[in-house]
Structure 1
Amino acid sequence: MNDDKKTMSKSARWAYSLGAFGNDAFFALLSGYLIMFITSHLFNTGNAETDAKMISIITMTIMILRIVELFIDPFIGNAIDRTKTRWGHFRPWVVAGGTVSSIILLILFTNMGGLYKKNALLYVIVFGILYITMDIFYSFKDVGFWSMLPSLSTSSREREKTASYARIGSTVGQGLVGVLVMPAAIFFSAKATSTGDDRGWFIFALIVCLIALLTAWGVGIFTRENHSEIRENKKDTKGIIAIFKALSGNDQLMWVALAYLFYCVAIYITNSLEVYYFTYIMGMPKAFSIFSTINIFLGIISTSLFPILSKKITRRTLFSCCLGLMLIGIALFAVAGSNLPLVLLAASMFGFPQQMVFLIVLMVMTDSVEYGQLKLGHRDESLALSIRPLVDKFGGAISNGVVGQIAIIAGMTTGATASSITAAGQFKFKLMMFGLPAIMLIVAVAV
């Protein structure tokens, strides 16, 4: 890409889109299905009380570590902004972060040689160290990847186009993980089971992690940063106080981040519990693949509609309409029971707007980089755009903690089946899956 060009080359756009594919496939595995593996497969001592205790400890550990890591994210964004190499600000972090995080996540999909049976405390410590290391390196990759967007073009419309291509890639990546997770885990398993075994889950994780690693290298090799006068920073943001002043001073960034915060908590709780709903409420784990397949096509349609709709109505109005449709989907989902067509319709109504909401928030935050530069006198691309993955991870952290506890309360742990879940367990499960997210979405619309 030439310095004076606003458009990207086809090879760069393809590499960036495939990078989004691998990035979101990895995130789906991490946020949605690592918890499923932990609650349903990892701990199997033969003592239900011991297994439930380990599940509770590990899921709460994940939630605490992810919340702690949120305070590190602004410094990660600042470190990327201050990085100056012949390969640019972002690409070194995308490659290094993608490589390290992929290797460690794969290790977390093992029982580490049965360490938890030999020394439970040591297992928790090792798990915690590996998890926080993986999460930090993934943050470097994720922040670096999406922070590249302003550097790929100085045109807001070109950014929307590039972001739409990338979001199609991420939609397909995330969706394919949902489509394949249960069939693949069962197919690769050593024994025939309804939800797979340790080997099946490990092989599936190996495939996803390998894709994430290779696509991160593709971004590093084929994309280029577009240097322009507007991106020349005359003043680096240094120190804790300066970092938080840069964030708090950008009021447009902060308001959209607050709305997105409530939204993320809502969608991550419901999205993470969907596979449990199909497995333990309906007793149809493979039907989750049907929903995930539908969701891929709906996500592509949603992403493709964004550039068209954004020209006709304001982003704020579009955001409110999307969340309104999701609330209708939740209401329908709550009364759908085991009626597969109705469940698919409700889940699709809840899932369809999500890609569009992501793009709305991403574009507002991307454009707020120039707003912050105009207001504060210095440009903080990665620092500003680190807020989006920070909020995403906070939603994922709360979801991980909540889902783990719900699985225990509802009896959806190792060895459980749909027939073993009591009516009381189903009620508690549905209350958390639908009631709490609905409140969060209403608050997000209000903000």
Structure 2
Amino acid sequence: MSAQEKTAGGLSRRNLWAYPVGTVGRDMAGCMFTNYLLTYVLFTKTLTSVQFACISVIMVAARVFDAFNDPIMGNVVEATRTRWGKFKPWIAIGGVLSVIVFITSFSTTLQGWAYVAAFGLLYFAYSVVFTMNDIAYWGMVPARARRADDRNRLTSRTVLFAGVGQFLGGIVVPTFTAGSLVIGGNAVTAYRAVVLIVCAAFTATQLITLLVVREPSARDEAPAEKVGIRKAFSTIARNDQLVWCAVVFLIFSVAQTLMGGGLSVTYLYFEFGYNGLLLSIFSILGNVAGAVLMLVFAALSGRFTRAQLMKAGAFGAAAGYLCIMLSGLFIPREMWALKFTMLTVSNLFAFLGQTLVYLIMIICIANTVEYNEWKTGRREEGIVFSVRPFITKLGTALVQLLVLVIYLAVGVRAVTNQISDLENAASQGLITIAEKTERIGAVLASVPSGKSAALLVCMTVIPAALLLAAYFIYRVKYTITEESYEAMVRDIEVRRAAKGETAE
């Protein structure tokens, strides 16, 4: 490889660009499945309370299963030895199977218990096949960038491109599945079309990774040590700082995900009408602001301590949620433009605060690697870094359980079933698009203000309370400051030097 093809740290420019680009379509698809599948179910399927509860239980169980499936898939990837490497085969297999699952999930015409059964099979299939792709894809980061500066550069760029994919998914899916821009005039047809577009992007960008990124053959690589669930949990339990990080991150994950877990979609539809474009606008500013924050985070971390940034993020996000609640409760519907503007701007501040907390928590978890080495003599990087995705999936399961309880308590299904019936009638040509639009407008106009207010309070008060709880636990229990971290690193280096002298 020529010198021009490499960055100063030795990571090839080819990999530095081709690898991150590969996640754009992947995260678009992941965003559609994770954030909008429940919306698809609510607004295209007519289900009883028991059937909807079963779907929610399936989602919770599958996310918990997915969390425990990660280390198993990690061992499978590590044991793979092929001429194409150990990562690319699973990226390809998981990608192809994921596309099949995605398209089928948003295209089936089944209703009732038949749909519940199909949903269960597809959702658990997603937990297996997308994990194949996900574990293999992210596993390439340490394999392709062994130096710390290269790894930081590759990771930050990949996270940025992943954010681009989620941003695009958050615009495309709601905009073209509800409202005046709906494809085909109804949600049933629209979701079928949108999932094809998203899966085409998934395939195209993953092909860039598969065909352009260079991965050495793994045939002669020594087998990696298998990490079982028992060893992983025993290692985590011995690292008290990692345990508290996990607790804080779990609470934070629930807070961060609850509004986007479906509550904001339903609230905005109830309050402002069946318009997916408004939903896109609601989330755009927050996503853009979060991306900007990621770019300037290094400068902020140079001026402020992690504790200061954590406090600013937690209280800033809580304040943003409080402003969302107050704006929603006290600005009348007649002043809908002002109300929506205040909600959107408040959401921007909530999103900024949550992004800041997320970045701090990623650093805190990473710092427990050195803490583990300082305390036990072993780094256990793989186990430490597996905590974040594991907790994220458990958090998603808890959010789904909360959403189920809130939807059943508020009585959301009674409204969405009426809209679902109209969407299906329009897709079958039984009513015109104009009739569908008029009748859905009448359904939403008849929704009691108490239902909207209940959704609003749940999607703001619960996250704000959880964010503050997470901050106070962090402040009391997380003791690795910048100074203590540097002291640990110096102590570790002294121990390593002493071992080296002894060996000689």
1:100 matches 2:97: yes
1:406 matches 2:398: no
- Cα deviation, residue 324, structure 1: 2.0
Which one-letter code corresponds to 2:25 in the other structure? G
Which residue does 1:47 correspond to in 2? Answer: none
Output the CA distance in 2 between the equivalents of 1:379 and 1:85: 28
Output the CA distance in 1 between the equivalents of 2:449 and 2:271: 10
Change (3 A) 1:70 1:226: same
TM-score normalised according to structure 2 size:
0.75
- Cα deviation, residue 165, structure 1: 1.6
TM-score normalised according to structure 1 size:
0.84
Output the CA distance in 2 between the equivalents of 1:76 and 1:379: 21
Output the CA distance in 1 between the equivalents of 2:395 and 2:58: 15
Q: Percent identity?
A: 26
- Cα deviation, residue 276, structure 1: 2.1
1:18 matches 2:21: yes
Question: Which stretch of the first structure deviates more once superposed, 305-314 or 343-352?
Answer: 305-314
Q: 1:291 aligns with which of 254, 279, 282?
A: 282
Output the CA distance in 2 between the equivalents of 1:73 and 1:165: 23
Which one-letter code corresponds to 2:300 in the other structure? L
1:214 matches 2:204: yes
1:273-303, Cα deviation, whole Å (9 max, x unpaired): 2222221123254212222332342122011
Q: 2:250 aligns with which of 246, 261, 265?
A: 261
SS in 1 for 2:417: coil
1:41-77, Cα deviation, whole Å (9 max, x unpaired): 123xxxxxx5443222212221222123322223233
- Cα deviation, residue 5, structure 1: 7.5
Q: 1:302·1:352 contact (CA, 8 Å) conserved in 2?
A: yes
Change (3 A) 1:351 1:60: same
SS in 2 for 1:177: helix
SS in 1 for 2:11: coil
Matches within 5 A, 1:211-290: 211-224=201-214, 236-272=225-261, 273-283=263-273, 284-290=275-281
Question: Which stretch of the first structure deviates more once superposed, 101-110 or 393-402?
Answer: 393-402
Change (3 A) 1:22 1:328: same
1:140 matches 2:129: no
SS in 2 for 1:349: helix
Q: Which has the higher contact order (CA 8 A, sep 6+)?
A: 1
Change (3 A) 1:443 1:145: farther
Q: 1:56 aligns with which of 53, 78, 86?
A: 53
SS in 2 for 1:174: helix
1:284-336, Cα deviation, whole Å (9 max, x unpaired): 54212222332342122011012222333344543332222111110101111
Output the CA distance in 1 between the equivalents of 2:145 and 2:299: 20
Question: Alignment RMSD, CA only?
Answer: 3.2
Q: Which has the larger radius of gyration?
A: 2
1:322-355, Cα deviation, whole Å (9 max, x unpaired): 2221111101011112502211111111112444
Runs (5+) with no aligned partner, structure 1: 44-49
1:350-373, Cα deviation, whole Å (9 max, x unpaired): 112444444444444456556656
Which one-letter code corresponds to 2:257 in the other structure? Y
Question: Which stretch of the first structure deviates more once superposed, 421-430 or 215-224?
Answer: 215-224
1:154-207, Cα deviation, whole Å (9 max, x unpaired): 44344333222222212221112222222212445333xxxx421101211222
Matches within 5 A, 1:26-425: 26-43=29-46, 50-111=47-108, 113-114=109-110, 116-117=111-112, 120=113, 122-186=114-178, 187-191=181-185, 196-224=186-214, 236-272=225-261, 273-283=263-273, 284-337=275-328, 338=336, 339-366=339-366, 368=368, 382-408=382-408, 409-411=410-412, 412-416=415-419, 417-425=443-451
Count of paired positions: 428
Which residue does 1:444 correspond to in 2? Answer: 470
Which residue does 2:426 correspond to in 1? Answer: none
Runs (5+) with no aligned partner, structure 2: 329-335, 420-442, 475-504
SS in 1 for 2:416: coil
Output the CA distance in 1 between the equivalents of 2:37 and 2:310: 30
Output the CA distance in 2 between the equivalents of 1:154 and 1:203: 41
Output the CA distance in 1 between the equivalents of 2:370 and 2:209: 24
Question: Which stretch of the first structure deviates more once superposed, 435-444 or 327-336?
Answer: 435-444
Change (3 A) 1:14 1:365: farther
- Cα deviation, residue 378, structure 1: 6.4
Output the CA distance in 2 between the equivalents of 1:441 and 1:414: 33
- Cα deviation, residue 233, structure 1: 8.3
Q: 1:168·1:299 contact (CA, 8 Å) conserved in 2?
A: no
